[in-house]
Structure 1
Amino acid sequence: MSTKVAVVTGGNKGIGFAIVRALCKQYKGDVYLTARDVGRGQAAVESLASEGLKALFHQLDINDLNSISSSAAFFKEKYGGVDVLINNAGIAFKVADTTPFAIQAKVTLETNFFATRDMLTHFLPLIKAGGRVVNVSSFVSCRALSQCSPALQQRFRSEDITEGELVGLMERFVNEAQKGEHKEGGWPDTAYGVSKLGLTVTSRYKPGGF
């Protein structure tokens, strides 16, 4: 029987690190802590080792398509696929951050929605029978939904929303934020919330609402 493998993105700190630690204690297989920064990733693995826990490191930057594709090839060759994928990597600007909203919207959506979607595109074909994919979203997505216009809420809650339509809506938010017109377009004033709303809708495995 081939060795099972679990992969966690953004695993060098915060929630991702806690997920890796828990998997090391409970999962019967190899656990990969991935991070875009090699030094920080290896330091996190060493920290776990000091606790008597074994995690493996693989460099993975979800904002880099080449990094995603090469990582997918690595796990396919070494394990024949992936048993557990936890899409945890993400970004959140602090409340007091003075970065213009237009930039926050672009950067946040690029990572939390579009890059995570790229991960799914490349890794879903590798998920073994009985495998699992977990996308780490946030309760903030529900709050963002409630602050959207009725028309946007209807589309996000609809049973027939397609991936193409969802991508178009996320692109529309970024474009309107660039022009300072997102509020007029029916969007809330939270790039993080919209990014996680997009991820939550992406994660729906069957028709239905929140």
Structure 2
Amino acid sequence: MASKVVVVTGSNKGVGFGIVRALCKNFKGDVILTARNPELGASAVKELEKEGLSPKFHQLDINDHESIVKLRDFLQSTYQGLDVLVNNAGIAYKQASTAPIAEQAEVTLKTNYFATLDACEVLYPLLRPHARVSNVSSMVSQFALAKCSDEFKSRFVSKDITMDELTGIMKKFVQSAQKGTHKEEGFSDSCYGMSKIGVTVMSMIQQREMDKKGSQDIVINACCPGYVNTDMTSGKGSLTIDQGAETPAYLALLPPDVKEPRGQFVREKKVAKWSM
């Protein structure tokens, strides 16, 4: 029988690296650290090996569809499936960035929403019964939700929103940001926040879709790691990467047949509010 396996995207540094460390200590199976740059990935693996841990490495750039397909083919041939997926890869412009909103919207959503969704669509067919998916979102998705128009809020919290509808709204946000009309059209002015609304709602839809097709105890959640001291927060976060890894790792290790959380947004290992 093939070993159990977990994949953590974007995990050569920051919260992703902390998640790999936590899973190496607590997951009974192989833990695959991924990075766009193989040298940085190999260096991260060596760092964890010095701690007596044994992660494996596979190259992955979620913005490159072929790279995701190569990872899928490797998992299929080596493990014949996938037990845990932590979608951690993401980007954020610094608050001080002078890049125009048109660029920030396109680049941020390309990685955080569209590429993450692509990774899910390619890798989900490998999920075995009792698989767990932890999609790293952010509390900023809650702040951004609060700033959207009532019309968008009602769709983002709706139990009948589809993936096609969500993707359409995310595309509309990018288009309106490029025209500079995003606020008038009812969107938040935070590109990162909008991208993470996408990740949060995507996770809820995916759980409903899994349940509808009768998947055996596959559990998908979105989560906020907290305000972590990483490059992404310019070192301003109050949590260590290991503290930031706690909630994503908790969701990755949920026991069989868990009733909650399922298809929810989780902060500090508790279900958080996602409503108007």
Q: Taking structure 2 as the reference length, what is the TM-score of the superposition?
A: 0.74
1:90-134 per-position Cα deviation (integer Å, ceiling 9, x unaligned): 001111111111101000000000000001101110001111111
C-alpha separation between the residues in 2 aligned to 1:196 and 1:173? 13
Q: 2:83 is aligned with what amino acid?
A: D
C-alpha separation between the residues in 1 aligned to 2:168 and 2:71? 27
1:181 partner SS: coil
Q: 2:133 is aligned with what amino acid?
A: V
C-alpha separation between the residues in 2 aligned to 1:114 and 1:176? 17
Q: 2:54 is aligned with what amino acid?
A: K
Q: 1:149 is aligned with what amino acid?
A: S
C-alpha separation between the residues in 1 aligned to 2:156 and 2:29? 37
Higher helix share: 1
After TM superposition, give the deviation of residue 51 of structure 1 in Å: 1.0
Does residue 100 (structure 1) correspond to residue 100 (structure 2)? The answer is yes
Paired position in structure 2 for 1:122: 122
- Count, aligned residues: 210
Conserved 8 A contact 2:2-2:78: no
After TM superposition, give the deviation of residue 19 of structure 1 in Å: 0.1
C-alpha separation between the residues in 1 aligned to 2:124 and 2:23? 20
Output aligned runs, 1:73-112, within 5 Å.
73-112=73-112
C-alpha separation between the residues in 2 aligned to 1:191 and 1:23? 30
Paired position in structure 2 for 1:131: 131
Unaligned runs of 5+ in 2: 209-262, 265-272
Paired position in structure 2 for 1:41: 41
Q: Taking structure 1 as the reference length, what is the TM-score of the superposition?
A: 0.97
Q: 1:156 is aligned with what amino acid?
A: F
Q: 2:192 is aligned with what amino acid?
A: Y
C-alpha separation between the residues in 2 aligned to 1:15 and 1:178? 31
Conserved 8 A contact 2:11-2:20: yes
After TM superposition, give the deviation of residue 27 of structure 1 in Å: 0.9
Output aligned runs, 1:120-159, within 5 Å.
120-159=120-159
Q: 2:115 is aligned with what amino acid?
A: A
1:46-76 per-position Cα deviation (integer Å, ceiling 9, x unaligned): 1101111111000000000000111111101
Q: 2:24 is aligned with what amino acid?
A: C
Output aligned runs, 1:1-210, within 5 Å.
1-204=1-204, 205-206=207-208, 210=274
After TM superposition, give the deviation of residue 162 of structure 1 in Å: 0.7
RMSD (Å), alpha carbons: 1.2
Q: 1:127 is aligned with what amino acid?
A: L
C-alpha separation between the residues in 1 aligned to 2:84 and 2:58? 15
Q: 1:113 is aligned with what amino acid?
A: Y
Unaligned runs of 5+ in 1: none
Q: 1:111 is aligned with what amino acid?
A: T
Conserved 8 A contact 2:137-2:200: yes
